[in-house]
Amino acid sequence: MTEGPGIPEIKAYLNGVDTPNMFGATTLFVKIIGSIAAVSASLDLGKEGPLVHIGACFASLLGQGGPDNYRLKWRWLRYFNNDRDRRDLITSGSSSGVCAAFRSPVGGVLFALEEVATWWRSALLWRTFFSTAVVVVILRAFIEYCKSGNCGLFGRGGLIMFDVSGVSVTYHPVDIIPIALIGIIGGLLGSLYNHVLHKVLRLYNLINEKGKLHKLLLALSVSLFTSIGMYGLPFLAKCKPCDPSIQGSCPGTGGTGNFKQFNCPNGYYNDLATLLLTTNDDAVRNIFSINTPGEFQVSSLIIYFVLYCILGLVTFGIAVPSGLFLPIILMGSAYGRLLAIAMGSYTKIDPGLYAVLGAASLMAGSMRMTVSLCVIFLELTNNLLLLPITMLVLLISKSVGDCFNLSIYEIILELKGLPFLDANPEPWMRNITVGELADVKPPVVTLRGIEKVGRIVEVLKNTTHNGFPVVDEGVVPPVGLPIGATELHGIVLRTHLLLVLKKKLFLHERRRTEEWEVREKFSWIDLAERWGKIEDVAVTKSEMEMYVDLHPLTNTTPYTVVESMSVAKAMVLFRQVGLRHMLIVPKYQAAGVSPVVGILTRQDLRAHNILSVFPHLVKSKSGKKH
């Protein structure tokens, strides 16, 4: 739960997947401590993913008024305790996380929009924007306060983390070739990274499942390997003489900064130590540094690149809160610098910019985002003139990467088995109707408008469904309709049935409840609460014979589809409107036909589940692909 970046889980939650305990106080606490420890250990991971998750946890706890056991019972807080506001709060929380990690307010909003959120409303846009604005103002205040240096490394670089605005970008037609090259190679490397990481994660899953000791040993050995690599490898690099034109800062001996002296004599610096013996943020700053074309030797860059490729693959899956952004930026910047050296004097683009573009291309190749990455890089580097080039590189890498595999977050989602509903239905879903889907499921369990307590208990015990259609039989219909018609009254939720059973709102005879009774018995606070499990409910034998009027509890306006509807279109409806249940109504109209044919849930609409029942569709699926 607390390992990994948490972004795929948030993405799944906002898609409608219930992921219990994802946003609790324990998760929050473990994430904060874990992330601080992991980053301090100089492991090859970033703090963005955990920060996004921390933001989402805060938002969720705020919305429900505190941790589960110590909730504040203020009335105005209850106002947010519904699915929709929870979803909005978590979206805002995620964008604040990205904003805090990269000091990138607009990038944070766009990240939430492009990668995390499934539904988007105009109002959400400016609310998210508001939350990132608050984050930036607070960040600014802290940075101002910490200027005197009394907060350690916090606030270094000000609001712009990796400033490369000092270089003025000029455009020449010949530059198109290196730019295209960066993009294509970045796309290839990114999809290769996704592919190999997938394999590693599957292996790690096997190890981690063996128990806590195995988890711990795995994390320890990766940490040991990282430390040995970081400290040992700089000894392989040759010392380089300082460039006399750079005064003062070379060689540096502090914990941060460029041109580290390490084991070299005065006047010399160790370029590999400059990259390895420092914080990850500082390493990026050094490798992005402009007007330092000859700072790094090819051999050092190759060692660095290979080391971070290995670390990037082995670190991510260990049981530690980890982000993916920074490892990919580190790999990508090294590859960019290497490409700059390979291109030699062909173009006049600064090697520091090559590193920026390399990082961007690898990100797009692996994560497949465009607009948000573009803005994040703009806000990280503060060079507006670089924007057109960044856009091209991102688009090329994304397109190249899309030819090979899914984005890294989608791969993780699939690996975790979260029932994520994709935006677009598969083409073969047009060839199957929801009626066919309902036919192969167990027959739908319906309840009557006024139902016996015994039947409700039985139904709740024997099924795991979360919603039950309510059908009235032999009703007296409006004028003009034959007597004995059946009526689709709506859908009642499991949790509301449990509420009735727990509160014992039973009737002695088969009758409708009056309106004043309804007002007295049900409050919307009760209806919003979760009511536990059927096993916790004790109903006596005499109560079993009593009745419950389900009418006031029934949602009388469920979304429906006719049985002849294709699964593809039903899925569009399901996802666009954000449903949990969808009723299937018959296309025939005659006496004796049930007014509800079936009920569809998220699981029924997942491609994988449909294919397991209708294997012949696989053929048409693979037929489409080739």
Are residues 496 and 527 in contact, defined by beta-carbon separation less than 8 angstroms?
yes
Q: Can you read off the two tokens belonging to residue 422?
A: 């994709």
238 binds a second copy (CB under 8 A): no
Select the residue interacting with a second copy from 40, 69, 122, 245 (CB under 8 A): 122
For a second copy, the closer CB: 114 or 414: 114
Using the minimum distance from each CB to a second copy, give the nearer residue, 237 or 432. Answer: 432
Q: Phi and psi dihedrals of 447, rounded to 5? A: -115, 155
560: Cβ–Cβ under 8 A, 6 or more apart, which residues?
Answer: 582, 583, 584, 585
Nearer to a second copy, 249 or 424 (CB): 424
Q: Binding residue for a second copy (CB under 8 A) from 2, 35, 60, 132?
A: 132
Residue with tokens 């400290």: 231
Strand pairing report for 581-585 and 560-562: parallel
Give the binding-site size for a second copy (rule: CB under 8 A).
81
What is the spatial distance between Cα 155 and Cα 146, in angstroms, rounded to a whole number? 7
Q: Is residue 285 left, alpha or beta, with left meaning phi > 0 and alpha meaning psi from -120 to 50?
A: alpha
- Distance from chain centroid for Cα 193: 19
106 or 605: whose CB is closer to a second copy? 106
Q: Which stretch binds a second copy (CB under 8 A): 77-85, 211-219, 391-399, 495-503?
A: 391-399
Q: Does 387 bind a second copy (CB under 8 A)?
A: yes
The minimum distance between CB 174 and a second copy, in angstroms, equals 12
Residues between 170 and 189 that touch a second copy (CB under 8 A): 171, 173
Distances (CA, A) of 474 to 453, 466, 487: 20, 26, 8
- DSSP letter (8 states) at residue 174: G
Cβ 470 to a second copy, closest distance in Å? 11
- Figure out which of the listed residues 4, 46, 105, 336 binds a second copy, where binding follows CB under 8 A: 105
Q: Is 487 in the site for a second copy (CB under 8 A)?
A: yes
Shortest distance, CB of residue 194 to a second copy, whole angstroms? 18
- C-beta atoms surrounding 622 within 10 Å: 10
| Least distance CB 76 / a second copy (angstroms) | 19
**Smallest separation (angstroms) from a second copy to the CB of 105:** 6
Beta strands 547-549 and 467-475, pairing class? unpaired
Nearer to a second copy, 21 or 165 (CB): 165
Handedness of CA 397, 403, 409, 411 (dihedral sign): negative
Question: Are 466 and 581 spatial neighbours (Cβ–Cβ below 8 Å)?
Answer: yes
Q: Applying CB under 8 A, which part among 64-72, 78-86, 314-322, 387-395 lies near a second copy?
A: 387-395
The least distance separating a second copy from the CB of residue 409, rounded to whole angstroms, comes to 12
Which of 17, 310, 395, 607 touches a second copy (CB under 8 A)? Answer: 395
Contacts of a second copy in 409-428 (CB under 8 A): 423-424
According to DSSP, residue 115 is labeled: I
Identify which of residues 82 and 564 has a Cβ nearer to a second copy in the complex: 564
Of residues 18, 68, 144, 514, which one binds a second copy by CB under 8 A? 144
Touching a second copy, residues 555-594 (CB under 8 A): 556-562, 564-566, 569, 572-573, 576-577, 585-594
Residues 330-369 that bind a second copy (CB under 8 A): none
Comparing CA positions, the residue from 534, 527, 533, 529 lying closest to residue 457 is: 534
Closest contact distance (angstroms) between CB of 488 and a second copy is: 5
Binders of a second copy in range 425-454 (CB under 8 A):
433
Among 70, 482, 615, 625, contact with a second copy (rule: CB under 8 A)? 482
Position 418, amino acid: L
Residue 538 binding a second copy, by CB under 8 A: no
167 binds a second copy (CB under 8 A): no
- Residue 136 found at the interface with a second copy (CB under 8 A): yes
Within 8 A by CB and 6+ apart from 535, the residues are: none
What is the number of other CB atoms lying within 10 angstroms of the CB of residue 199? Answer: 10
Q: Which of residues 489-528 bind a second copy (CB under 8 A)?
A: 489-490
CB count, 10 Å around CB of 205? 12
Q: How many CA atoms lie within 13 A of 231 on its CB side?
A: 7
CA dist list (Å): 26 to 100, 212, 265, 313, 374: 21, 18, 50, 28, 34
Residues between 364 and 383 that touch a second copy (CB under 8 A)? 370-371, 374-375, 378-379, 382
Which H or E run includes 451? strand 450-452
Nearest Cα neighbor of 2 from 19, 17, 15 is 19
- Min dist CB 49 to a second copy, Å, is 20
Nearer to a second copy, 38 or 491 (CB): 491
> Is the Cβ–Cβ distance between 362 and 335 less than 8 Å?
yes
Provide the mask over 307-326, with x wherever binding to a second copy is found by CB under 8 A and - wherever it is not. --------------------
